[in-house]
Amino acid sequence: MLCDAIRDIDDAVRRDREERERQTASRATFQRAEGYMWQIEEMLEDGAHHVPDPMVIEIARFVRPISRRLARLLTGDPERDPAQVLDVLFDVQERIQRQTLGPLGLGLEEALAS
């Protein structure tokens, strides 16, 4: 009986640790997307009409594991329009939020309200 209780506690501790690690990774990914968004917004404020190719490639590499379709939108745009890149990054953040909140069984509105 004591062995079962210890095993249950160990399992609960392990699950809690795994959840915290998953949330930390998700938060880091979300913040990275936000960092890119700030850079693009500054470019827009400065009147830039194109995002430099190295930056688009870096963002596309970041986006690809989240959505290949969104990564193709970035690399397929010959204009490298900052507004298009910003739209893709907003979509990425939404996907990250859905992945984070989905397993918790919360709706976005419920999570934001808490």
**Residue 37 sits in which domain range?**
29-101
What is the total count of domains within the chain?
1
Write out pLDDT tens, residues 22-58.
888 888 999 999 999 999 999 999 998 999 999 999 9
Q: Is residue 114 part of a domain?
A: no
pTM, to two decimals: 0.72
Q: Answer yes or no: is 24 within a domain.
A: no
The pLDDT of 99-110, averaged and rounded, is 58
Residue 50 within any structural domain of the chain:
yes
- 61 is a domain residue: yes
Cα-based distances in Å from 88 to 7, 77, 97, 101, 110: 45, 12, 14, 20, 25
CB 20 within 8 A of CB 97: no
| Residue 1, domain member (yes or no) | no
For residues 33 and 92, the answer to whether their CB atoms sit within 8 Å is yes
- Domain assignment present for 19: no
Mean pLDDT of the chain: 86
* Per-residue confidence band for 67, with pLDDT thresholds at 50, 70 and 90: very high
Residue 104 pLDDT level (bands cut at 50, 70, 90): low
- 62 lies in a domain? yes
On the question of pLDDT at 103 being above 70, the answer is no
The answer to whether residue 41 is domain-embedded is yes
